Structure 1
C-alpha cells in the first residue's frame, strides 16, 4: 500500500455508476489479464473500491485472488519491478510497479482463538467467501479484473449511500474474528462520516473487553488513523459510548467524571473535544496538517483534572497542577500503547506547557518571559501557539477577545525578539569547557549547576559580552560552598 500519491500512468475509465472523474492506472487491467491468462481470478477489493465510489483518488491498490502466494509470485515475475513475500504466511505478496505499490492476497478466512492475538489463516477458493469475512459491507466490494465486473453481495454501495456502517455477517462474529474491527468502526466513523448500525453499536458495547487481546501496536495504529481523520470526534464519542475507550484510553472517559453540574465548572470531556476541534481548524496555520501530536495533545491536555480536582470551602473547584500531572499520565499511556519516544515526549511536553501562557497574566510580556516561553517550548513552539489559542472555549466574547489580543501580543513579542536574538537556540554565553577552565573544576554536577545559572542569566537579561558573563559567574561561584573546598574535591 502506498503512502504517497504515485506518479500517474495511462488510465482507464470505470464502468457506469462510478464518479466520472475517477480512473485507474491502465496497468491494473494488464495485471488482471496476466492472472486470467494463467487461469486465475484477480479482483480489486476493499478500500480502493469504496473510495472510488466516494469519488476519492485511489492511491492504494489492494487485490485478492484464488492463486496461492507461490503462484502469485510466479505470475508477477517479469511484470513487477520488484516484489517481496514478507506477508506470505498470511497470503499476501507485495510488489512495486513504477512507484506504485500493490498488495495481492489469496482468498482467505481468518479468526482469532479466544485467547490469542494472532489470527489463524486459512486460504479460500471463492471471492464471495473472501468478501464475507471482511470487516464491513462498505469494504466487502470488489471489481473483477480485467472486465471491471462489480461484485457487491452484501450491499456495500447501499450502505455508503445511507452512511451506515454494518457487517457482512453478524457483528458478533466479525468482532470475535478480529476485535480490532471495533476500533476500525470508530475510525471509519471519523474518516467517512458514517454512523454505525444499531446492531454494530450493541455488539461493540457487549464485546468491548475483547479488545484486550489485541496488541498495543495494532491499537495504537488505529488510534492514530482515527485522530488524523476529518472528524475524529465522531470516532472518539463512539469509543467512549461503547466502553472500548475504558480499555484502550481510559483517561478519556475519566474526564467525564471530573464534570460536576452542582459546582458548575465546565464539562472537561466536552471541553477537551472542543479544544481538539479548535486545534484542527488552526493546525494548517501553524504546523503540517493533519498533525497527530497537536490533535492528541489538545484532546489529552486536561487529563490531569480528575486526579487533581478539589472542592474548596468557598464552593469553587480547583485543578492545581493538572498540567504537570496530565503530562505524566499521557506519557505513561503513550508508552503503554508503544508510541515512539519522540511523539510521546512531544505530546507530554505540550500538555505540561498548555497553562504556561496564563501564568504570565494578560499584561505586556517582558523579554525574559518571552525567552523562557520559547526556550521551554523548543521546536514545539508552533504547536504550543495552536494549542493555547485552541484552549479558549469561553462563551464570554469579551473574555475571548481579551485572551486573543494577549496572545497576539505574545506572538508579536516572539517575532520581535527573534529578529534581535536567536531565540530557537538560546545558550549560555559560556560553554561547559569555558566554565571548567574559569572555575578550575572537573566535569560533574557542579558544571551543570554553573551552566544552568548562566542559562537563567541569559534568559533574564539577554545576550552579554564574554567578560561580563565571566564576572557574573565568578560572583556566583564565590557564594557556592564548593568554592571553599580544595580543587581535588570540587
Structure 2
C-alpha cells in the first residue's frame, strides 16, 4: 500500500518519524485506498504539536483552531500535493452549538483521535513507516459490507455536528453504500438539528451530493430521513404532483431521474442543478386540462426560473452557477416542432440563451426526456432541431456580431451614448436575425441612416419585436444541414 501513496506525502511522514514523532495517514484517504479509489486529499495525523510540526519544514502555515499545519511543497506540479496537511492528535470537548467543539486538546493518543471521528470507515489509520493499520471500530469490515456506521453512539455523533447527517448521505451516494439501521434511525430522529448549521456548510455538502455518482439516491435519502426540508424545501412540493400524458412519474421522481441522467453522462454541476430544478415551477402552475390533457403547466418555466433565482440566492450559490442554472430553467421549453419552427426563431433562442449555454440547453432536453421514462434519448424531431441549431450558430445572434457597432454609429449620425443607441443596435439585430444576409456594412449603414430618424420609443419597439416565422426560402438551407445529421 505504501507504493500507492505519493512520494510527497511519504516524505512528510518520514520527516516526522525521523524527528521521533508518529505519523499516520487517516480518514478518507485510507478508506479510498482500501476501496481502490484515488484519494482526493491526503491527511496525516501525528503526536507532534503544531509548533513542532512547523519547525521541521521550511515552508508551512497554520491558521485554524484545530492545529492543522499545511506543509508546502513548491517542487511538485500536482496541485493536490502542493500542500500536505498534518494535524496533531486531538480530543474535543462539548459541541454546544452542534457545529464545532468548544475546546480542542492536542497531543493525546491516536486512539483518542480516532474516537472523535464520524464514521467507522473514516476512523482508519495507516502508518507508512511500518505499513501498520489501526482499526479500532471494524471500519474495514464495514467497507467490505459497503456500510456506513457512526463511531459509537450515533445520537452523540450527530449532536456534536449535525452536518454529519448530510455527510452520511453524501458518502452513501458517492460510494454506493448503505447506511446502517441504527445510524439511519438516528438521522431521522435528529433531522431538526440540521437547522442549526450554516447555509454555506449545507450548500457545500448538498453540492457534493449533486456531484456524486448517485445523486438520485442522495436526494431520495434526504427526503426519506427528513433532511430535505432544511436543504431544498421547494422540491418537496413536487412529491405526488402527477403530470399525466407522456410522463410515467410525478414531478418529484421526474426531476430526480433527470438529475441522475445528467450524472450518468458526467455533466457539470450547473447542468445537474438545472436538471433537478427545470420543472420546479410545475406544482404551482398545474391546472386541470381539457379533453386531451389531464393537466396543464402553462408558464412553469417562467415561474421555475424565478423560484430558482430565489433558492440559489438563499443557498448562496456562486453567481456564475446561479445565473447559468436560471437561464437553463427559464428556456428549457425552447424545443418545438421543427416542422413548424424557423431558423430565425432558433437564432432568437440562441440570442436569448447565449451561445455558450446552447449545448447545455440541448443536453438538458435529453435529460428531461430520459426523466419521463421514454427509452429513446434523441428521436428524429430532436435531431432535426439540433441540425437547425447548428445552422443558426453560423449566423449572427448577438449585437456584438453585427457588422457595425456603437462607435461607428455615433460617428455616422452624431448620436450621443444612451438608450437610443442601444435600441437602434437591437433593432438592427432583429433584422439580421430574420435574415443573416443583411449583416453587411452597406445594408446596416443604410438602415442606420433611416432608423436614426425614429424616436426612442419606436426604436425600442422595433428592437424588442420578435419575428414569428421565417419564409420558405430557408428550407433549402435547412435541408443541407439535415443531410449532415442524417435527418433529411
TM-score range, shorter chain: 0.7 to 0.9
SS at match of 1:186: helix
Distance 2:259 2:247 in 1: 22
| Residues 198-217 of structure 1: CA deviation (Å, up to 9, x unaligned) | 12211211221211222222
For residue 442 of structure 1, report the CA deviation from its aligned partner.
3.0
Q: Does 1:56 align with 2:33?
A: no
| Residues 119-178 of structure 1: CA deviation (Å, up to 9, x unaligned) | 434124011111111111100000134112100111111111111100011111111111
For residue 313 of structure 1, report the CA deviation from its aligned partner.
6.2
Which of these residues, 297, 304, 327, is aligned with residue 326 of structure 1?
304
In structure 2, do the counterparts of structure 1 residues 396 and 481 end up closer, same or farther at CA, with 3 Å as the change threshold?
Answer: closer
Corresponding residue for residue 47 of structure 2: 66
Distance 2:366 2:246 in 1: 26
Give RMSD over aligned pairs. Answer: 2.8
Q: Does 1:221 align with 2:204?
A: yes
SS at match of 1:75: coil
For residue 334 of structure 1, report the CA deviation from its aligned partner.
1.6
| Residues 239-287 of structure 1: CA deviation (Å, up to 9, x unaligned) | 11112110111122221143378999841011111112222334xxxxx
SS at match of 1:185: helix
TM-score under structure 1 length normalisation: 0.83
In structure 2, do the counterparts of structure 1 residues 262 and 272 end up closer, same or farther at CA, with 3 Å as the change threshold?
Answer: closer
Distance 1:44 1:334 in 2: 37
Corresponding residue for residue 106 of structure 1: 88
Corresponding residue for residue 119 of structure 2: 136
Corresponding residue for residue 424 of structure 2: 450
Distance 1:94 1:245 in 2: 35
For residue 371 of structure 1, report the CA deviation from its aligned partner.
1.4
Which of these residues, 371, 377, 380, is aligned with residue 347 of structure 2?
371
In structure 2, do the counterparts of structure 1 residues 227 and 311 end up closer, same or farther at CA, with 3 Å as the change threshold?
Answer: same
Corresponding residue for residue 384 of structure 2: 409
In structure 2, do the counterparts of structure 1 residues 235 and 43 end up closer, same or farther at CA, with 3 Å as the change threshold?
Answer: same
Which of these residues, 352, 357, 362, is aligned with residue 380 of structure 1?
357
The equivalences for 1:76-475 within 5 A come to 76-77=57-58, 82-87=59-64, 89-97=65-73, 98-99=75-76, 100=81, 101-110=83-92, 113-115=95-97, 117-124=99-106, 125-259=108-242, 266-282=249-265, 289-312=266-289, 316-357=294-335, 360-363=336-339, 365-378=341-354, 379-393=356-370, 394-395=372-373, 400=376, 404-418=379-393, 420-421=394-395, 427-438=401-412, 440-464=414-438, 465-475=440-450
Structure 2 gaps of 5+ residues are 460-488
Distance 1:40 1:261 in 2: 66
For residue 72 of structure 1, report the CA deviation from its aligned partner.
1.2
Corresponding residue for residue 466 of structure 2: none
2:243/2:250 contact within 8 Å kept:
yes
For residue 454 of structure 1, report the CA deviation from its aligned partner.
1.6
Number of aligned residue pairs: give it.
448
Structure 1 gaps of 5+ residues are 1-12, 15-21, 283-288, 485-490
In structure 2, do the counterparts of structure 1 residues 201 and 53 end up closer, same or farther at CA, with 3 Å as the change threshold?
Answer: same
SS at match of 2:72: strand
1:429/1:466 contact within 8 Å kept:
yes
For residue 301 of structure 1, report the CA deviation from its aligned partner.
0.8
| Residues 339-380 of structure 1: CA deviation (Å, up to 9, x unaligned) | 1111110011111111111xx323165221221222223211
More off after superposition, 360-369 vs 375-384: 360-369
Distance 2:331 2:248 in 1: 22
For residue 36 of structure 1, report the CA deviation from its aligned partner.
3.1
1:91/1:123 contact within 8 Å kept:
no
Distance 2:428 2:96 in 1: 60
Distance 2:264 2:198 in 1: 32
In structure 2, do the counterparts of structure 1 residues 91 and 259 end up closer, same or farther at CA, with 3 Å as the change threshold?
Answer: farther
Distance 1:262 1:385 in 2: 22
TM-score under structure 2 length normalisation: 0.84
